[in-house]
Amino acid sequence: MLDLANDPGTKQYSLNENYRNGSNILARAKKEIKKIGVLDDSIPMNRGGCVYEGPFNIDTLVDWIQNTGKWGEWAILCYTNKEKDYLRELLGDYDIETMTFNLRRKTKKQLDELMQTNKVKVITVWGAKGLGFPHVAVYGCNWLTRQGKHKEGCRVDYVAYTRAMDTLMIFT
């Protein structure tokens, strides 16, 4: 493979085009990973994307979810199972249907069926790895960063932020 890559007659293509995230969302994710000296040179292929960052307010979150009218397009990403349970309970108080799941125990067909349900997905950041959602809210301060694992915390935050396609809400 190295011989092929070093052959001047071989044409190479850069695979740095990002088709998932709006440009504003990707810019916020890049800002996070840059804190630890990692460069993301991907190019956003979609313009826009709304980024909201601020203190957690359940009324703000509920308004955003209800205004889209499509609960199934939302994922709320948490760092702990305790936070996940707390948010599901809060959203239930507003009659917003939620669900959670563990990717490791699902087939592709089962996952596809879960993703099509019109319920807000409340899952951990690790459970969302590889998935994408039109609207993502990230809840809580990353516990890795609080434990002094700043580099790993920035990487996990980057994964969380890049799950969003159109809307990214970062609640502190």
Report d(CA 89, CA 166) in Å as an integer.
25
Report d(CA 36, CA 21) in Å as an integer.
21
Helices 81-93/58-68 angle, 10° precision: 70
- Give tens-digit pLDDT for 31-52: 999 999 999 999 988 899 999 9
Q: What is the pTM of this model?
A: 0.87
Q: Identify the residue with better confidence: 153 or 87.
A: 87
Please say if the pLDDT value at position 53 is more than 90.
yes
Instruction: Report the C-alpha dihedral over residues 9, 11, 12, 17, rounded to 10 degrees.
Output: 160
The full set of domain ranges for the chain reads: 19-171
SS3 category, 55: coil
The CATH H-level (homologous superfamily) assignment of domain 19-171 is: P-loop containing nucleotide triphosphate hydrolases (3.40.50.300)
Residue 166's pLDDT band (boundaries 50, 70, 90)? very high
- Give tens-digit pLDDT for 88-140: 999 999 999 999 988 777 888 988 898 899 999 999 999 898 899 999 999 98
